[in-house]
Amino acid sequence: MAIKTETELYAPVKSYFEQLGYHVRGEVNHCDLVAIRGEEPPVIIELKKSFSIPLLLQGIDRLRMSRQVYVAFELPNKGRAPHGASWPELRKLCQMLGLGMITVQFFKRKKPAVLIECHPAALEMTPPVSLVPSEIVSVAASGEPARPAPSRLPRHNKRAAERMVREFKERRADYNVGGSTRRKLVTSYREKALHLAYLLQTQGPMSPRQLKALTGNANAAGLLQKNFYRWFQRVERGIYRISPLGEEALGTFAHVVAQLPPASDFPLSSNSSTLS
């Protein structure tokens, strides 16, 4: 059953890692899917409708941020390996490049099946059988011997890795579908700006200091002053209110606003602009 877009891969792959105890976010610093479990290094998965050179190149680039990188694509018709190759050849190719490989098989009346064709050579994460649902199969769990790690990998970029993890952790929830294009992504920056707009809508005009106290966001003043999205208007010195564009944004991103603490949790009234 051929899929139309790579975004269809996101839900089953996300579900697979969530059932292993990972938290998952889509579209984090250009990575289609990032999964983090506790203090373990992040797992990055790049999604494409089919196996291709661009998919491998994306995976190789992500090795700068983590050594735990997979490429994922739909299982071809009748289970045949793509491009006339054999599955052992493709597994060997991926592991020589330092990558793991995931295929997803779709059915008309059943849930998709996620198949771990191979793990990255640097990753030992075969889960206990009790954690793997019946719809999910892992070839690596069958006892396939681990291959030695590749001798040459892209140099690890510590700053890029830290930025990715920080972006992941600063989001309250998973708002994006991995593999999306031409859609406005919800970054932690946009989420924080929406939080300020929501408070200004429900509580009335406030100062940066008040918003900082309510949100715990140390950069509240910077968000208001920079006003990147034009969601805020300055009423007077040190006092801001929501703009018409901000009102519109709260409707556009209602799914994000729904994840914010309810207005009743905040002690300030609509007369908060009079507070110092």
List, for residues 169-208, the tens digit of each pLDDT value.
Answer: 999 999 999 998 878 899 999 999 999 999 999 999 999 9
And the tokens for 16? 């697979």
What is the structure's pLDDT at 138?
54
Looking at the chain, the whole-number percentage of residues with pLDDT higher than 70 is: 84
What is the structure's pLDDT at 262?
72
| 99: amino acid identity, one letter | L
| Structural domains of the chain, ranges and CATH numbers in brackets | 6-157 (3.40.1350), 188-274 (1.10.10)
pLDDT tens digits, one per residue of 233-249: 999 999 999 999 999 99
Q: If pLDDT is split at 50, 70 and 90, which confidence band does 148 have? A: low
- For 8, 21, 195, 207, 255, the CA distances from 173, given in Å and listed in that order, are 19, 15, 13, 27, 10
Nearest-angstrom CA–CA distance, 166 and 236: 34
Tell me the DSSP string of 245-264: HHHHHHHHTHHHHTTSPPGG
| Dihedral angle, C-alpha 122, 126, 127, 132, nearest 10 ° | 120
pLDDT at 125 over 80: no
232: β partners: 242
pLDDT at 50 over 70: yes
pLDDT at 133 over 80: no
Nearest-angstrom CA–CA distance, 244 and 249: 9
- For 96, 107, 117, 265, the CA distances from 2, given in Å and listed in that order, are 28, 9, 19, 47
pLDDT at 265 over 90: no
State the average pLDDT for the chain: 87
Q: If pLDDT is split at 50, 70 and 90, which confidence band does 145 have? A: low
pLDDT at 129 over 50: no
Q: If pLDDT is split at 50, 70 and 90, which confidence band does 2 have? A: confident
72: β partners: 47, 102
Residue ranges of alpha helices (H) inside the chain are 10-18, 53-62, 87-96, 158-170, 188-203, 208-215, 220-226, 244-252, 254-257
What is the structure's pLDDT at 157?
96
Radius of gyration of the chain (CA): 22
pLDDT tens digits, one per residue of 62-108: 999 999 999 999 998 888 898 999 999 999 999 999 999 999 999 98
Q: What is the DSSP letter of 118?
A: E
241: β partners: 233
Q: Average of pLDDT values for 36-50?
A: 96
